[in-house]
Amino acid sequence: MDPLLQRLEPFWYPVLPLEQLGAEPAAVTLLGRALVVWRGADGQLGALDDRCRHRSAALSGGHIGSEGHLHCPYHGWAFAIDGRCRLLPQQPDQPIPERCHSKAYRIQARHGLVWVCLAEEPRLPIPALPLAEDGLHRRIQGFHETWQCSPFRVIENGLDNIHHYFVHRGVLDVLSPVPDPMEGGISVTADGLKFSIPLRVNTTAALEATVADGSASLRVERHVRWLAPLGLTLELTWPNDRRQYIVLFAVPRDHQSCTILRFYLRNDREQEVSAASVIAFERALIDQDRRILEAMPAGLDPWPPGEHLIEADQPIARMRQLLQKFLATSS
Ligand code: FES
Ligand SMILES: [Fe+2]
């Protein structure tokens, strides 16, 4: 197996929003592996290779029986969430041979997402997101889509404090290409790093629709947190105390593409700022990022050679350094 994909295995990754897992099994790709995930009769979740142990049909094309088992669409073998084959219709009176059972992966529902870990022992727990669980913030379901770029580039872009001025023109009117100083430097945490840095902008119509502040220019407080290996939270506080918390995961599908899962938590109400205006603003913003990221070399390599990082790229340099530790083959 590919050594880098293997190093990325012992972590939890969100693979799709929980609300998308309905009465049908879903196909997802994680670290080069085709998987099927589904919800059994009692609500428990299952994750298996999307390949039947009989003759390799895609189980995601099958159906979930009333007993909660996943039935293969080709010849009807049925698998329980622990991966055991429980029905082999062609020989109902014989014991099911050991080789007919499939391997089940670790799967959990948390923060409104379905999480899978391909390894026996995850190196880090599913990240805690206190604001997603305190009941004080409304949630806006954002984006679930595939980007043709490295997931490391997506997270690095979230730690990049100097691209806004150039990339987000028209959506964000950033006052200067020189970043404001970081407040308190970078702190290393048990599962990544965090730092705070403000962003000063003139208010565009698109931004005003999500802030409802009325000021001509704003100082946005930004608290950024990297959650190893491929998660990021960004807490934005505007002068009127409105707060938006952006939660982003970039999940490696293969060497060329990643799944983007992004949602929002806000401390205001729909009547004040509509979810539609938040999504419209964010759509414009992330499409600008996406154009840059998809035009970069797509390789999954977390340590791309031949780049020349400067002082302002410190969070990215630190992330790359810490990744060496998180992705070490022996922990
Ligand atoms: S390929 Fe699945 S039952 Fe035959
Ligand atoms: Fe950006």
* pLDDT above 70 for 330: no
Residue nearest to atom 3 of ligand 1 (CA): 75
> Cα angle at 1 between 3 and 294, to 5 degrees?
65
- Provide the β-strand partners of residue 162: none
Please give the backbone phi and psi of residue 225, each rounded to the nearest 5 degrees, phi first.
-135, 125
**pLDDT tens track for 302-314:** 999 999 999 999 9
* pLDDT above 50 for 62: yes
* pLDDT above 50 for 223: yes
* pLDDT above 80 for 87: yes
What band does 2 get if pLDDT is binned at 50, 70 and 90? confident
Residue nearest to atom 4 of ligand 1 (CA): 75
Q: Which ligand is nearest to the CA of 153?
A: 2
* pLDDT above 70 for 331: no
Task: Please choose, from the candidates 263, 262, 238, the residue with its C-alpha nearest in 3D space to the C-alpha of residue 138.
Answer: 263
HEC profile for the chain? Answer: CCHHHHHCCCCCEEEEEHHHCCCCCEEEEECCEEEEEEECCCCCEEEEECCCCCCCCCHHHCEECCCCCEECCCCCCEECCCCCEEECCCCCCCCCCHHHCCCECEEEEECCEEEEECCCCCCCCCCCCHHHHCCCCEEEEEEEEEECCCHHHHHHHHHCCCCHHHHCCCCCEECCCCCCCCCCCCEEECCEEEEECCEEEECCHHHHHHHCCCCCEEEEEEEEEEECCCEEEEEEECCCCCEEEEEEEEEECCCCCEEEEEEEEECCCCCCCCHHHHHHHHHHHHHHHHHHHHCCCCCCCCCCCCCCCCHHHHHHHHHHHHHHHHCCCCC
Q: Are 193 and 319 in contact (CB under 8 A)?
A: yes
> How close is the Cα of 73 to the center of ligand 1, in Å?
7
**Predicted local distance difference test score (pLDDT) of residue 172:** 93
> How close is the Cα of 35 to the center of ligand 1, in Å?
16
Amino acid occupying residue 220: V
In this structure, what token pair is assigned to residue 183? Answer: 């407040």
**Predicted local distance difference test score (pLDDT) of residue 132:** 86
**pLDDT tens track for 6-37:** 999 999 999 999 999 989 999 999 999 999 99
Q: What is the mean pLDDT of residues 186-211?
A: 94
* pLDDT above 60 for 122: yes
Q: What is the mean pLDDT of residues 219-245?
A: 96
> How close is the Cα of 268 to the center of ligand 2, in Å?
23
Residues flanking ligand 1, CB < 6 Å: 52, 54-55, 57, 72, 74-77
- Domains in the chain and their CATH numbers? 11-117 (2.102.10.10), 130-326 (3.90.380.10)
Which of 71, 74, 79, 91 gets mutated to test ligand 1 (max ligand atoms within 8 A of its CB)? 74
Q: pLDDT above 70 covers what percent of the chain?
A: 99
Rounded CA separation 81/103 (Å): 10
**pLDDT tens track for 95-115:** 999 999 999 999 999 999 999
**pLDDT tens track for 280-289:** 999 999 999 9
